[in-house]
């Protein structure tokens, strides 16, 4: 008999029915517990992939393929909930691991969204908290052996590389980072002095270590840089600084990579089983080809190489771009007394920082912590929202913000600034995940644009650069002593084509974006970020990137996949 939940179902009663249907291996009964509109997002618990199943047919197909081997059991509500709660955290086990999840029911008492996520592998648990080592074992532990071959080689020593290396260390996986900087954290220290995190401190801890309680809500770049260096040292990570990946080839016969690394000027060959690119979401810096650029008498650089506005007082500066880096750099230059002009080619989404705090506060804030919502559960709840639902969730919020801040936006538009809230109306969230179009969390530059302190040329292209000027497509001409190109980066697959091969790059395809079909994110629809934190079409090749939240949360997802493969566990990736 097919189970038919009623509109009075609660989280506890739904999970009981779901657990009984799972135990009886009755897929019809399982699927009947999902609504007409439903989503099951799985993070390697069932699929050994990161995949969102949309609709009952997709859920049925996934269960047909995975239920027998997964053998889930022990379903329980994970945290005390109100008796009538229709959403909340759950826990369960599979044949290979222990898992977490989050359930949200619809108005009819059926499941609207289900998140399932592998938390740990049985027999390979992290030695943390109740499982701490005594300390005697640590006294005999060897320091990282530079001559040893790592099982996992991580290219990039920023927050993503450090988070993954820390996860792997606690899983007992030999992993090494190669990082081009002289010290951990230099990718923050060596940028402009005014650099700060634009989202709040509560969203940004790395695994196992939180920031000091007295740190500001928005830490400085110098603080972040120092913290990353401290983190690497405290977590005792194996890092080669002043090291560059010069190329890599995969040897299918041995199942290993041959990675050419130049370390302190000396070439060496490493043979890891897995190669992870944790260099961010992009490839190399992109600088547009503008006629006459080679004749420019002043200095010019990409935004990633801008070291700050000190020394530019009274000088004329042109900044190409209107996204986060461009705004930060323009503000930095203005504060140091430069005469700065921003070139805005296309529209930009701008949102005040206070609204970002409001949007995140239910999950990440002192108030959320006081309610007992720790960061791990906050991450789970955040991960439970499918990409398909984002416009419906965030569009009303953006519309309210647009109304509340209408005077603010009108002043920007009066200065000539071109604004948008994204093609689907989801604003910052959708744009960040799609890499479609620009955005800026306003930390002060918008007021400087609105009042004319930062000059603006919008809707124009550079047609030529002279010895001391920039000529624009509207016929105007700007005097310039210094040019900054805040023009983004080349796609990651181009970087892979250069370091590995064009064939591998073509095989794996794009990195990031989820196939929305909107600006910068061509279809087909995938519903998950392409190639991020999950198996690619190239054996042993992985990508890890994103902000601090992504680095923290998905480093576990990726580390568990790597550990399972290295231990020879029966990993079978579900591909519809």
Its pTM stands at 0.95
Residue 98 has pLDDT above 50, yes or no: yes
Q: What residues have CB less than 8 Å from 156, skipping those under 6 apart?
A: 177, 178, 179, 277, 278, 279, 280
**Do the Cβ atoms of 397 and 364 come closer than 8 Å?**
no
Do 148-283+489-566 and 293-359+395-485 fold alike per CATH? yes
Report residue 3's pLDDT band, with 50, 70 and 90 as the boundaries. Answer: very low
Strands 243-251 and 256-263 turn out to be: antiparallel
**Token pair listed for 334:** 């203005």
- Reference 67, options 97, 94, 85, 106; nearest CA is 94
Predicted confidence at residue 210, as pLDDT, reads 94
Give the gyration radius of the chain's Cα atoms: 25
Span 493-512, pLDDT tens digits = 899 999 999 999 999 999 99
Whole-number average pLDDT of the chain: 93
Predicted confidence at residue 174, as pLDDT, reads 97
Backbone φ and ψ for 378, nearest 5 degrees, come out as: -60, -40
Predicted confidence at residue 284, as pLDDT, reads 83
- How far apart CA 324 and CA 437 sit, in angstroms, is 11
Residue range 398-415: mean pLDDT, rounded: 97
Choose which CATH entry (1.10.3720.10, 3.10.450.50, 3.20.10.10, 3.20.20.80) describes domain 11-121. 3.10.450.50
For the sheet with 256-263, list strands across it: 243-251, 256-263, 266-270
**Token pair listed for 552:** 């923290």
**Do the Cβ atoms of 3 and 15 come closer than 8 Å?**
no
- Reference 332, options 558, 486, 228, 516; nearest CA is 486
On the question of a cis peptide bond just before residue 524, with omega within 30 degrees of 0, the verdict is: yes
Q: Which fold has domain 293-359+395-485?
A: FAD/NAD(P)-binding domain (3.50.50)
Helix (H) or strand (E) holding 45: none
Backbone φ and ψ for 358, nearest 5 degrees, come out as: -65, -45
Span 359-380, pLDDT tens digits = 999 999 999 999 999 999 999 9
Span 415-473, pLDDT tens digits = 999 999 988 999 888 888 877 668 999 999 999 999 999 999 999 999 999 999 999 99
**Do the Cβ atoms of 566 and 151 come closer than 8 Å?**
yes
Strands 97-105 and 111-121 turn out to be: antiparallel
CA 314 to chain centre: 38
SS3 helix, strand, coil % of the chain, rounded to 5?
A: 35, 25, 45
Span 210-231, pLDDT tens digits = 999 999 999 999 999 999 999 9
What letters, b where the CB count within 10 A reaches 16 and e where it falls short, cover 1-25? eebebeeebbbbebbebbbebbeee
Strands 73-77 and 316-320 turn out to be: unpaired
Predicted confidence at residue 433, as pLDDT, reads 83
Residue range 346-371: mean pLDDT, rounded: 95
CA angle, 366 as apex, 364 and 369 as ends, to 5°?
A: 75
Predicted confidence at residue 194, as pLDDT, reads 79
For the sheet with 87-93, list strands across it: 50-54, 34-43, 111-121, 97-105, 87-93, 73-77
What does 181-213 look like in DSSP terms, one character per residue?
A: SSSTTHHHHTS-TT-B-SS-GGG-PBTTBPPPT
Predicted confidence at residue 184, as pLDDT, reads 96
Predicted confidence at residue 193, as pLDDT, reads 78
Predicted confidence at residue 10, as pLDDT, reads 94
Q: Which residues make beta-bridge pairs with 439?
A: 349
- How far apart CA 335 and CA 313 sit, in angstroms, is 9
Span 131-152, pLDDT tens digits = 999 987 755 545 667 678 999 9
Domain boundaries, the chain: 11-121, 148-283+489-566, 293-359+395-485
Predicted confidence at residue 375, as pLDDT, reads 96
Predicted confidence at residue 1, as pLDDT, reads 38
Percentage above 70 pLDDT, the chain: 96
**Do the Cβ atoms of 117 and 99 come closer than 8 Å?**
yes
Task: Classify domain 148-283+489-566 by CATH architecture.
Answer: 3-Layer(bba) Sandwich (3.50)
What does 259-313 look like in DSSP terms, one character per residue?
A: EEEEETTEEEEE--SEEEE-S-S--SBP----TTGGG--SEEEEGGG---STT-T
Percentage above 90 pLDDT, the chain: 85
Residue 81 has pLDDT above 70, yes or no: no
- How far apart CA 562 and CA 182 sit, in angstroms, is 28
């Amino acid at each position: 008999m097919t189970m038919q939940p009623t509109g009075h179902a609660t989280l506890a009663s739904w999970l009981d029915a779901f657990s009984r249907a799972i135990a009886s291996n009755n897929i019809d009964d399982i699927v009947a517990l999902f609504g007409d509109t439903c989503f099951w997002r799985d993070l390697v618990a069932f699929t050994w992939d990161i995949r969102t199943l949309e609709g009952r047919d997709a859920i049925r197909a996934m269960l047909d393929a995975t239920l027998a081997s997964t053998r889930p059991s022990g379903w329980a509500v994970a945290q005390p909930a109100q008796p009538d709660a229709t959403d909340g955290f759950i826990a369960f086990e599979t044949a290979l691991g222990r898992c977490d999840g989050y359930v949200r029911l619809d108005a009819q008492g059926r499941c609207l969204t289900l998140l399932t996520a592998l938390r740990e592998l049985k027999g390979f648990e992290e030695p943390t908290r109740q499982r701490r080592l005594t300390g005697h074992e640590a006294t005999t532990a060897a320091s990282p052996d530079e001559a040893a071959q790592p099982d996992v080689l991580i290219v990039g020593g920023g927050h993503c590389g450090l988070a993954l290396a820390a996860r792997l260390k606690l899983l007992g996986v030999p992993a090494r980072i190669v990082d081009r900087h002289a010290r951990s954290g230099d990718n923050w220290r060596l940028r402009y002095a005014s650099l700060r995190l634009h989202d709040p401190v509560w969203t940004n801890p790395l695994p196992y270590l939180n920031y000091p309680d007295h740190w500001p809500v928005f830490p400085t770049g110098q603080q972040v840089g120092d913290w990353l260096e401290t983190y690497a040292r405290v977590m005792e990570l194996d890092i080669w600084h002043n090291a560059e990946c010069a190329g890599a080839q995969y040897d299918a016969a041995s199942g290993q990579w041959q990675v050419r690394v130049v370390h302190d000027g000396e070439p060496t060959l490493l043979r890891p089983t897995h190669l992870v690119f944790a260099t961010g979401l992009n490839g190399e810096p992109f600088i547009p080809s503008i006629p006459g650029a080679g004749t420019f008498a002043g200095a010019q650089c990409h935004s990633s190489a801008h070291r700050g506005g000190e020394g530019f007082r009274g000088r004329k500066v042109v900044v190409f771009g209107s996204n986060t880096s461009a705004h930060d750099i323009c503000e930095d230059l203005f504060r140091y007394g430069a005469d700065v002009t921003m070139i805005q080619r296309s529209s930009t989404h701008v949102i005040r920082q206070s609204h970002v705090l409001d949007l995140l506060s239910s999950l990440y804030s002192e108030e959320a912590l006081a309610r007992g919502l720790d960061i791990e559960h906050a991450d789970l709840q955040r991960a439970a929202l499918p990409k398909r639902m984002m416009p419906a969730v965030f569009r009303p919020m953006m519309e309210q913000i647009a109304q509340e801040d209408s005077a603010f936006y009108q002043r920007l538009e009066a200065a000539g600034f071109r604004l948008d809230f994204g093609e689907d109306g989801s604003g910052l969230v959708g744009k960040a995940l799609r890499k479609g179009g620009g955005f800026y969390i306003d930390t002060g530059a918008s007021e400087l644009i609105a009042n004319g302190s930062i000059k603006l040329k919008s809707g124009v292209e550079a047609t030529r650069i002279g010895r001391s000027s920039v000529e624009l497509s509207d016929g105007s001409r700007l005097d310039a002593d210094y040019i900054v190109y805040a023009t983004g980066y080349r796609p990651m697959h181009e970087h892979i084509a250069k370091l590995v091969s064009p064939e591998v790059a073509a095989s794996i395809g794009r990195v990031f974006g989820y196939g929305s079909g909107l600006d910068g994110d061509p279809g087909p629809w995938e519903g998950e970020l392409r190639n991020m934190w999950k198996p690619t079409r190239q054996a042993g090749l992985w990508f890890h990137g994103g902000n601090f939240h992504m680095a923290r949360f998905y480093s576990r997802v990726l580390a568990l996949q790597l550990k399972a493969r290295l231990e020879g566990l029966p990993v079978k990736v579900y591909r519809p």
